[in-house]
Amino acid sequence: MCLGSGGVLADQFYLIAHEDRTGRSRLHPRATGIGLAASLLGELILDNKLRIFAGDLEIVSNQPPRDGLDHAVLDLLIAQPQHRDVRTWLAYLSQDSADRVGQRLERSGAVESVTRRRMLSTQTFYMPNNELQRNAAAWAPMRLANILVRGLDMSITDRVLAGLIAATGLTRHVLWDFEAHRSAFAVLPNTVASLPEDLRQLIEHTEASVGSVLAVGRR
Amino acid sequence: MVHKDPAEPDIITSALARNRLGVPSVVFFGVAGAAPLTVIIGAISAIYAIIGNTAVPVVYLVTAGILSIFTVGFVAMSRHIVNSGAFYAYISHGLGRVAGVGAAFVALPAYALMQIGLFGLFGSAASDILAALGLKVGWFTCALVAWAVVSVLGLLWVDLSGKVLAVLLVAEISVVLIYDLVMIAHPAGGSVSFATLNPAPLFTADVGPMLVLAIAGFVGFEATVVLSEEAKDPKRTIARATHLAVILAGLLCGLSAWAMSVTTGPDQVVAAAQEHRTDMVFELVGPHVPEILVQLGYILFMTSVFAALLAFHAAVARYQFALGREGVLPAAWGRTHPRTGAPLLGSVTQSVLAVVVLSAYAAAGLEPLFYVFAWLTTIGGLGVLILMWSASFAVLAFFVRNRGRENVWRSQIAPMIAFLLLSAVLGITVIGFGELLQVSGDSPFQWLVPVLYCVVAAIGVGWALVMRAARPEAYAAIGRGVDGRTIALPEGPPLTKGSHEPVGARGYHY
């Protein structure tokens, strides 16, 4: 997968945040939703469409993004200028971010949708189904761990990804081997600290939102 | 939902509101900790029995009044601080971080002890019920079963604002109202007496102990502010719901306490309470209602105590989670179970503490209803009272520094009245605390408990000073609560050029 094309951040986060075998979220569903919402905003920031200034979103460019989902999010941001608070947008986008990123992954062929019947309803999971897809999905957390452990030069997208992984509580999943990944734990704070100010703010707001959502414990 | 502006709410607002809590849900959340049936069956009879004063109905109404006034400033301040999770956050924002950490150290044992005390009530009541069915099971065994279930549910972080809780609470309140009607319809001597509504007996030495016992019954209403980010209209929903929770609990308890005295006669209510303890209400209504209604009452009583146990467990775990998140406790307390989001270590700590304390009681062979339930909830209640008192002062201090954010009543008059009232209550409680625990004159428990709270507060203050010296960046974040971060970022000037440069000046390198 080529890093650098639009939409990579949320896709990678999605693949790390979901079990490749069952398609279920590894985190509390609301934490995953917030992480994906932040990834979508992050994609727009990385694409120079958006920035964050003192907790408020600020539209920099209304040139349409190449990616369809990013385009839809940016359109909504432009259409609702009365809401600027990052926390508001994280809460709003988190409501359906898992489905929307899942659908984008399906369009790109990285996952397939599987509908399962539950007691009274049906639920759609977006999960890798063939060998190629499963390999790509399993590679997502390993790739990040690899970069962190070896201390390789990280792209800005990967640094944001690492920050969001830590902010939502997936660090232990990516860096699962405490001994082998020890050096990565030391690198992690610096990768976040070296980000531009608005991406750091995005990660901080994500972490705060996740914290208050988890403290309440509602679904 | 009330719209202030004539324009229709936009899609963002309405989409967010759809998933959020309205006033009833928040009230249920607040009342769950102060489970009405637990208070009415467990606490009111205990106050009648232990204090022996008949002014219990008035005490509940007075307490509801004091707490309502306190709530005015409390919810007003909750609108202006980021993290409104707990009392210590208010205290750190109002009185400074050092006092905040001191308060947090008081809060941890206070809430923990209240929950452990409830295990005593549960164990004793369950053991009695099983005995009536012919099964001889000790209170400790019953308490252990409840403990195990609470520990597991605590780790699963079961949603406490759920529909099950709402249904249980509505059923509880209905049963309480039916019982009250039955008791009032069968007054002693054929005429309804209003003697216990006379406030005169309040002006005796009993008032302090009675007030702290009554306040212990309300504990949990302050948890509503945790939901401020989950509420439909953060500005109004929480305020209304918190007031409603306090008034609802106060009226219900006051009415029930009065109804009990009506049916026994004001002169007999103390004797009846001392004889029947937690069975008092059931014994009183038993002759006048169908058998099934009494049995239903017993079941709902158990579920109510259980809901309160869960609510307090969650509250303690949440407290430790918030403190871990912001670095006051070790960061491990700030971690959650990935899938369920449960604050693992906080939950486990409380479970372990509970089982240790309960085992110690069982080993010492102490009577559960008095020494576990009454003692521990009273001691915990004193801690919460100290917190409320400091929080009321913090509200005052906060609005002195942030003038004009709220109107004069909310920001100055009500907090000032609440502070004075709570100071008086705290003062007489501390003086009469030995009497509250019913220990003899030369027992160390006469003075030990308030002193211990001072000691833990002092340890907290000391810890805050250590943090200020050793970890200034963590110290600066105190009071942010669950908003605190888990990744420790090195502090210092931003490594980029900052965000004031013109658009497009930053090049991102993919």
Q: Which residue ranges of chain B lie beneath pLDDT 50?
A: 1-6, 484-510
Is A38 a domain residue? Answer: yes
Is A193's CB within 8 Å of B490's CB? yes
Identify which of B84, B88, B325, B339 has the alpha carbon closest to the alpha carbon of residue A204. Answer: B325
Contacts of A180 (CB under 8 A, 6+ apart): A149
The reply to whether A48 touches chain B by the CB within 8 Å rule is yes
* Residue A182 lies inside a defined structural domain of this protein: yes
Domain boundaries, chain B: 20-482
* Cβ-Cβ contacts under 8 Å, A61 against chain B: 503
Counted domains in chain A? 1
Res A4 pLDDT > 50: no
Cα-based distances in Å from A71 to A9, A41, A84, A109, A143 = 15, 11, 18, 20, 28
Contact B38, B308 (CB under 8 A): yes
Separation of alpha carbons B460 and B375, rounded Å: 24
Q: Which strand (E) or helix (H) includes residue B4?
A: none
Cα–Cα distances in angstroms (integers) from residue B69 to residues B202, B300, B388, B418, B422, in the given order:
20, 31, 12, 6, 10
Find chain B residues with C-beta within 8 A of A83's C-beta: 10, 12-13
Is the CB of residue A58 less than 8 Å from the CB of residue A52? yes
Of B336, B480, B504, the CB nearest to A214: B336
For B365-506, where are the alpha helices, taking DSSP H only?
Answer: 375-401, 408, 414-431, 433-436, 445-470, 472-476
Q: What is the sign, positive or negative, of the torsion defined by CA atoms of B227, B232, B234, B235?
A: negative
How far, rounded to the nearest angstrom, does the alpha carbon of residue B415 sit from its chain's CA centroid?
A: 20
φ, ψ (nearest 5 deg) of residue B495: -80, -10
How many DSSP H helices and E strands does chain B contain? 21, 0
Please name the residue of chain A whose CA is at the shortest distance from the CA of residue B346: A215
- Residue A129 in domain: yes
Search chain B and give the residue with CA nearest A83.
B12
Contact list in A for residue B494 (CB cut-off 8 A) is 196-197, 200
Chains A and B: how many Cβ contacts under 8 Å? 140
**Which residues of chain A are within 8 Å of residue B480 when distances are taken between CB atoms?**
208
* Amino acid (one-letter) located at A108: S
Whether A92 and B496 lie within 8 Å, measured CB to CB: no
Interface contact B483-A219, CB threshold 8 A: no
Burial tier of B61 (Cβ tally within 10 Å: 0-12, 13-18, 19+): buried
CATH value at residue A111: 1.10.3630.10
Residue A1 lies in a domain: no
Does some domain include residue A25?
yes
Nearest CA in chain A to B339: A27
Contact indicator for B358, B121 with CB cutoff of 8 Å? no
Query: How high is the pLDDT of residue A74?
Result: 94
Cα(B372)–Cα(B377) distance, integer angstroms: 8
In a domain, A124, yes or no: yes
Query: Which of B484, B490, B494 is nearest residue A211 as measured by Cβ atoms?
Result: B484
- A26 vs B19, B338, B483: nearest CB: B338
In B, minimum Cα distance to A2 occurs at B510
| Residues A168-208 pLDDT 10s | 989 888 888 878 888 888 888 888 889 999 999 999 899 88
- The domain covering B20-482 belongs, at the CATH homologous superfamily level, to Amino acid/polyamine transporter I (1.20.1740.10)
**Shortest CB distance from A197 goes to which of B161, B340, B499?**
B499
Distances in Å between the alpha carbon of B355 and those of B118, B155, B243, B374, B417? 13, 16, 35, 18, 40
Is B404 exposed, middle or buried, given 0-12, 13-18 or 19+ CB atoms closer than 10 A?
exposed
Closest partner residue to B495 (CB to CB) among A155, A163, A193 is A193
- What is the structure's pLDDT at B84? 54
Per-residue pLDDT at B82: 62
- Inside any domain, residue A90: yes
Supply the pLDDT for residue B6.
46
3-state secondary structure of B102: helix
**Domain extent for A138:** 8-214
Q: What is the pLDDT of residues A22-51, one digit of tens each?
A: 888 999 899 999 999 999 999 999 999 999
ipTM of the complex: 0.80
Percent of chain A with pLDDT over 90: 46
A193:B341 CB<8 A? no
Cα gap A1→B140, rounded to integer Å: 60
More confident residue, B50 or A59: A59
Partner A, chain B 349-378, Cβ-Cβ below 8 Å:
none
